[in-house]
Structure 1
Amino acid sequence: MKTWLRLSVVAIGALIGVVAANFAQAQEPIRIGVLLPLTGPFAKNGIENWEAMQIARDMINERGGINGRKIEYVSGDATSPAAGISETERLITKEGIKITTGSFASPLAIAVSQAAERHGVFHWETTGAAEIITRRGFKHTFQVGAPARLYGQVAVDFIIEDLTKRLKKPLNELRIALLWENRAFGKSVGDGIRAYATTKNIKLVYDEGYDQFATDMTPIVQKLKDTKPDILVAISFPNDAILFQRKAKELDFNVAAFIGVSAGYSSPDLRNSIGSTVNGLFVSDFPPKVNPNVLKPEVRKVADEFYKRYEAKMKRPPAGHAAAGFSAIWALFTEVLPKAKTFQPDELRDIALKLDLPEGSLVNGSGIKFTNFDWKDNPKDAGQNLRASIGVWQWTAQGNEEVFPAKLATHEPVMVPLPDWSKR
């Protein structure tokens, strides 16, 4: 064989090999570890997030995936912080996962991100909120959802800007009580509310924590009843929220306005547990659905598709944390991964830190801009999203409606003051 012909054959063979390798890589799925509580005490909320995140995956895959590669989830059941660490390490060491996401609750998020960082894995936290998540010097953890302090600040702002008018009482005459579960999320939010209330010259008439696994709420409810607050702000998880409401009804503890914060009071199962008495309660949390006018036109289409699919699958609208889970993972699929070439943690980190998305870029009204040890409020903070949306929504007979702030609102507040138990 002549030299030129032999070289041409070799070159063609090499080219075919490169094309084949690139084609094979293009066809390989992008595998992502999803850490959520799918069993145990947090399972109801975890499954909500899981369903929302599956919808996001399906929508992306139906579009052809990311640069020709489909998304594949590998799940881990993070029932507790210890299980979160164990499951994260399993996915990384046994399954070869390089990207993790989840985790719904702050205690789980703290544990999962810790394990991911230790192994040099990129972690995209969807809804965990405790401030400590982004204040440990980690380089590959990004908290897309709002930090804990915003939950409390929005609740206080709602009292100042809206409830004072509806209750026809000046702020200095309102008796405001604070009740918080004493683990990572509740304590973090409670600390934020207390500090923010001080800046607004608000003196709390009651401020106590409790164990979220308590089985008897009688002493707590009785103390609150003796205090006679006009407004109660309560930070709870599902089981303790249900216990509290049942005991409040039994002991006839009434307030003019009740603001639950996040997990317990945003759970769709709350209505199943306490019936129509849930109507009128406010929830400071991720917006379940926002005024579409705040969304970019292309985002409205995504939102419509998400809500349509979710309601068809679950037979009800999503809670705020489910909408937040969808929003966060959708941002990963559309704003981070398409720009990646190696999918190595340092590359993904650089891409994430360059994101500069205005509010209204995500389905739940959020934007994205992460801290990077450069935030004047806390130079130790890295990976926190400063444009995450938190608002106040209200349980109604029709479902739930966003009521605050005005730009996100879908409805005016109703049932203020909140009727006594005998009239609900």
Structure 2
Amino acid sequence: MNTRQALATLALGLSLLSTAQAQTFAKTGTVKIGAITALTGRFAEFGRQQMAGFQVAVDEINAKGGVNGQKLELQVEDNASDVNKGLAAAERLVNADVGVVICEYSSSLVKAQAQYLARQKVPALVVTSSGDDITKPGSEYVFRLNQPASEYAQVLFNIFRDNKFKTVAMFTGTGAFEKSVADAARRFAKEYNITLVEDQSYDKGLTDFRPVLNRIKAKNPDAVFMVSYAEDSVALMRQAREVGVKPKLFVGGAAGFALPTFISDGGSAANNVVSATAWVKELNYPGIAKLNTDLVKALKGTEPSYHAAQAYAGVLVAADAVARAGSSDREKVKAALKATDLKTAFGPVIFKDYDGFKNQNPILMVAEQVQGGKFVPIYPKTDASKPVKLER
């Protein structure tokens, strides 16, 4: 067993099978689904969350009798947080004859994977990646159960609108996800008559954000809007506090800002920061309390992020499609995915074509704020446990 396989087996306890092995299992009553995530590299924390969701879902399905009476196996491949290695992982799953591939976190990686899988006529189920251009215009073989990036921007700009903010400074990374969120933010700023007093982006690898933060400080905006991955979110907030940026509200467009490690690593710098998020345990979905408990157990006592809940739902949706298709025939699975109408503890899943999106699940986004050292939902008010806390 190679290193990649060992990591996945240790993390999830699921078999990583060669094509020959898969054929053997097919004869003995096992249904196999493919999945790609980051077991190593810069996105490994998101991969850890997803692996927990995968584990909980597979255990739950098999405890209820599997897929049409057959045991479910998840063949997990590591993308090593790299585009080319992600494509190699997708190729391995295509060659393994899986009926559907669950695609993972980073928009830049997933877009390439989804395009490749569509060319191979293999259904791709996106569970966490949010770049708008993955399903807009999309492909008949690509389905996404999580929210597109524009939803991350809208929920945060709704908070700005409701609190009558007039000025926002925007500072975002240049990756595919960050760019999608930033593009949507510009649209909502214009729609809500909010002035972007600063609109800056930065390339991966930058560690000193102070020059831009000092410029933002001088403009004294009502809010600072950031979109960054895990390694940048804490540094951004620490440096913003250090140079004395004092908006009414700091907000992050999910990603690193929505991880439990943002609070543990950020300490006092994380206080009162608002983040868009795709899921919180306080939502009113059937089974959500049990899912949260199971995810905490799978994560060995740490709190799950929404990425774990999305991965959990992805396995349920993929297994449901294979069950209704009656086999792993890819065309039948694609048709079954198109007809999905499933209630999960992550939320409802139904794939629609709307507003230029294709096979997109129209699920609402929520926002949470760090209050008292933990995330609490603050928007929309129907799902909020506490009101938003402004800093001035």
Same fold (TM over 0.5): yes
Equivalent pair of 1:126/1:329 in contact (CA under 8 Å)? no
The 2-side partners of 1:28 and 1:276 are apart by 53
Cα deviations by residue, 1:31-75 (Å, 9 ceiling, x for unpaired):
111111111111111111111111111111111111111111111
Q: Give the Å deviation of 1:286.
A: 0.8
Q: Give the Å deviation of 1:182.
A: 1.2
Pair member with larger Rg: 1
Task: Spell out the pairing of 1:148-297 with structure 2 (5 A cutoff).
Answer: 148-161=149-162, 164=163, 170-171=164-165, 174-292=166-284, 295=285
Structure 1 residues 316 and 289 mapped into 2: Cα distance closer, same or farther (>3 Å)?
A: same
**From 369, 375, 379, the counterpart of 1:400:** 375
Structure 1 residues 402 and 332 mapped into 2: Cα distance closer, same or farther (>3 Å)?
A: farther
Equivalent pair of 2:234/2:270 in contact (CA under 8 Å)? no
Q: Give the Å deviation of 1:313.
A: 3.2
The equivalent of 2:20 in structure 1 is: none
The equivalent of 2:41 in structure 1 is: 40
Aligned length in residues: 366
The 1-side partners of 2:279 and 2:65 are apart by 29
Cα deviations by residue, 1:59-101 (Å, 9 ceiling, x for unpaired):
11111111111111111111211111111112222x3333210
The 2-side partners of 1:204 and 1:221 are apart by 14
Q: Give the Å deviation of 1:25.
A: 5.7
Equivalent pair of 2:173/2:228 in contact (CA under 8 Å)? yes
Equivalent pair of 2:56/2:298 in contact (CA under 8 Å)? no
Identity %: 25
Cα deviations by residue, 1:293-312 (Å, 9 ceiling, x for unpaired):
xx2xxx22xx2322112222
The equivalent of 1:6 in structure 2 is: none
Unaligned runs of 5+ residues in structure 2 are 1-24
**From 362, 382, 386, the counterpart of 2:344:** 362
- Bigger Cα displacement from structure 2, 51-60 vs 113-122: 113-122
The equivalent of 2:142 in structure 1 is: 141
The 2-side partners of 1:280 and 1:142 are apart by 35
Equivalent pair of 2:117/2:124 in contact (CA under 8 Å)? yes
The equivalent of 2:360 in structure 1 is: 384
The 2-side partners of 1:40 and 1:25 are apart by 33
The 2-side partners of 1:408 and 1:212 are apart by 35
Q: Give the Å deviation of 1:287.
A: 1.9
Q: Give the Å deviation of 1:26.
A: 8.1
**TM-score, normalised via structure 2 length:** 0.88
The equivalent of 1:327 in structure 2 is: 313
Structure 1 residues 328 and 401 mapped into 2: Cα distance closer, same or farther (>3 Å)?
A: farther
Counterpart of 2:124, as a letter, is: H
Unaligned runs of 5+ residues in structure 1 are 1-23, 165-169, 420-424
Q: Give the Å deviation of 1:272.
A: 2.5
Equivalent pair of 1:56/1:306 in contact (CA under 8 Å)? no
The 2-side partners of 1:91 and 1:345 are apart by 13
The 2-side partners of 1:407 and 1:347 are apart by 39
The 2-side partners of 1:276 and 1:62 are apart by 43
Q: Give the Å deviation of 1:137.
A: 4.7
The equivalent of 1:344 in structure 2 is: 329
Structure 1 segments, 4+ long, off by >3 Å, are 24-27
Equivalent pair of 1:28/1:70 in contact (CA under 8 Å)? yes
Equivalent pair of 2:223/2:250 in contact (CA under 8 Å)? yes
- What RMSD over aligned residues (CA atoms) do the two structures have, in Å? 2.0
Cα deviations by residue, 1:315-350 (Å, 9 ceiling, x for unpaired):
1221122222222332333x4232111322221222
The 1-side partners of 2:138 and 2:157 are apart by 30
The equivalent of 2:88 in structure 1 is: 86
**TM-score, normalised via structure 1 length:** 0.81
